[in-house]
């Protein structure tokens, strides 16, 4: 039986043992494993779903993501579960900060004995929790957080994978901000001035950095006329908005999300900012539905991948129609990109377990599931995703311009101005840092 690195550490970390004893232990372990092949536990498979259930990120992100985990768990259970095992879903709140999430993850793995954690919207939480996957020997799947640094090393090429048991089933913020730059180059080839207003922490800083580097390569003639860095969860943006209007950029980049994006947009509307410039929202797809018909038209929206309730067109991709109809019927709203990310996470785990189980003849080990998840490709409501050797999924990037129609109570993406950039255009190659890839263009 092949031993994993963690198995070896566990064996070697005890009292000193002789080579003969070690070999004997391996043979005993091998016989025990062989005897269990073909067995499937009767108890439910425990899945922990961690999202913001309270706070400003709950309504536009965490609750829709958790709703999806609950809806799909019910659906999978109705269809027979995962290899016959029903899902026991443990929904947990991501609120409380990094230290609280590290403690929660330890409890879920060590005390609650979950089979997998699917979670995290905050990039800071992802960066703190994902290393626990290898330390504690359990699968942790980041389902939504976007920082490119989660799976990247400090220089290119970097070791692949960064974590043996840590995965992310969605693309990084590199996709969002490279895609925005490509949109601007196509639709605003003659602009001269850009600016940025982003939350003052890693997510905002990384988003602007990737966007700025992309713009330097794609449109080197464009001048940055200002950057603003309000703290996360700011409630009054009027001074920042007045400064933006004074700087007079053609395009404003923002990675605001959740309540910050809603607050900024409403205050910018009141001060007339959208009459003077275009705002490019790197992950703005949920915001028009949150604000309603007052959300301004002709703004650029990124969808954190190809995730949109009207794309792929429901007459051409029935899986999207089924997902949208089921979600809308159950929750009274259209699914937003966190919902699509939740779908990708839970069905990637299900597919990996079933793939590994088909090879072992029984319920697979954690390492066998991880092996099966590496290189996995599945169909989703947004199309196909692939989880690469770096344990990160890659996706196409969908972007568009807002347009108010009579059919929906909020602006949708104008069907005539939707752009879908393929994976190889907005995702760096395996082992190459996003910023290094951009600089190589």
pLDDT in tens, 86-126: 999 999 999 999 999 999 999 999 999 999 999 999 999 99
pLDDT of residue 37: 62
Nearest to 211 by CA among 298, 143, 120, 279: 279
CB-side neighbour CA atoms (13 Å) of 210: 29
Nearest to 357 by CA among 115, 135, 123, 160: 115
Q: What is the pLDDT of residues 186-196, one digit of tens each?
A: 999 999 999 99
Nearest to 320 by CA among 381, 378, 379: 381
Rounded CA gap, 176 and 178, in Å?
6
pTM, rounded to two decimals? 0.91
**166-168 vs 223-228, strand pairing mode:** unpaired
pLDDT of residue 3: 39
The ranges of the chain with pLDDT < 50 are 1-36
Whether the Cβ atoms of residue 271 and residue 277 lie closer than 8 Å to each other: no
**300-302 vs 397-403, strand pairing mode:** antiparallel
Q: Output the six-digit token pair for 95.
A: 């609120």
Give the CATH class of 45-171+317-394. Answer: alpha beta
CA-based torsion, 258, 123, 107, 103: positive or negative: negative
Nearest to 137 by CA among 99, 103, 166, 102: 166
CA-based torsion, 175, 181, 182, 184: positive or negative: positive
Query: What is the third-level CATH fold of 174-303+396-439?
Result: Rossmann fold (3.40.50)
Rounded CA gap, 219 and 233, in Å?
32
Q: Supply the DSSP string of 38-79, one letter for each residue.
A: T---SSPEEEEEEE--SSTTIIIIIHHHHHHHHHHHHHHHHT
Following CA atoms 188, 191, 193, 199 in sequence, which dihedral angle do they give, to the nearest 10 degrees? Answer: 0
Crossing angle of helices 173-187 and 202-218, in 10° steps, is 40
Name the segment(s) of the chain with CATH classification 3.40.50.2300: 45-171+317-394, 174-303+396-439
Q: What phi and psi, each to the nearest 5 degrees, are found at residue 385?
A: -125, 155
Rounded CA gap, 345 and 166, in Å?
12
Q: What phi and psi, each to the nearest 5 degrees, are found at residue 46?
A: -90, 120
Rounded CA gap, 87 and 76, in Å?
8
Distances (CA, A) of 271 to 244, 259, 394: 11, 18, 38
């Amino acid at each position: 039986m092949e031993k994993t690195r963690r198995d070896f550490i566990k064996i070697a970390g005890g009292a000193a043992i002789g080579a003969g004893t070690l070999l004997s232990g391996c043979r005993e372990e091998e016989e025990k494993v062989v005897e269990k092949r073909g067995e499937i536990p009767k108890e439910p498979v425990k899945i922990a779903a961690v999202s913001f259930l309270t706070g400003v990120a709950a309504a536009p992100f965490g609750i829709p993501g958790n709703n999806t985990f609950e809806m799909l768990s019910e659906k999978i259970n109705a269809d027979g579960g995962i290899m016959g095992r029903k899902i026991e879903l443990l929904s947990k709140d991501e609120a409380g900060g990094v230290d609280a999430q590290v403690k929660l993850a330890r409890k879920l793995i060590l005390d609650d004995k979950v089979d997998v954690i699917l979670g995290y919207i905050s990039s800071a939480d992802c960066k703190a929790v994902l290393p626990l996957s290898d330390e504690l020997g359990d699968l942790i799947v980041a389902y939504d957080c976007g920082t490119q640094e989660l799976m990247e090393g400090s220089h290119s090429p970097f070791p692949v994978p960064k974590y043996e048991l840590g995965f992310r089933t969605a693309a990084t913020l590199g996709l969002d901000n490279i895609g925005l730059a490509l949109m601007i180059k196509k639709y605003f080839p003659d602009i001269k001035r850009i600016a940025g207003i982003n939350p003052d922490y890693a997510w905002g800083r990384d988003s602007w950095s990737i966007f700025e580097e992309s713009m330097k390569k794609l449109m080197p003639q464009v001048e940055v006329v200002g950057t603003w860095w309000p703290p996360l969860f700011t409630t009054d943006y009027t001074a920042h908005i007045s400064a933006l209007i004074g700087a007079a950029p053609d395009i404003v980049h923002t990675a605001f999300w959740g309540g910050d994006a809603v607050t900024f947009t409403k205050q910018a509307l009141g001060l007339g900012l959208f009459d003077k410039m275009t705002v490019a929202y790197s992950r703005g797809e949920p915001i028009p539905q949150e604000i309603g018909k007052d959300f301004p038209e002709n703004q650029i929206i990124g969808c954190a991948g190809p995730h949109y309730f009207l794309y792929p067109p429901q007459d051409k991709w029935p899986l999207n129609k089924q997902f949208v109809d089921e979600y809308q019927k159950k929750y009274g709203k259209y699914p937003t990109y966190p919902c699509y990310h939740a779908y990708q996470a839970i069905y990637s785990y299900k597919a990996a377990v079933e793939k590994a189980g088909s090879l072992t003849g029984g319920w697979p080990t954690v390492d066998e599931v991880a092996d099966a998840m590496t290189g996995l490709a599945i169909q989703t409501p947004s199309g196909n995703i692939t989880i690469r050797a770096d344990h990160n999924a890659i996706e196409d990037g969908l972007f568009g311009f807002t347009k108010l129609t009579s059919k929906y109570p909020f602006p949708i993406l104008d069907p005539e101005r939707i752009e879908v950039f393929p994976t190889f255009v907005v995702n760096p190659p395996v082992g190459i840092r996003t910023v290094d890839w951009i600089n190589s263009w």
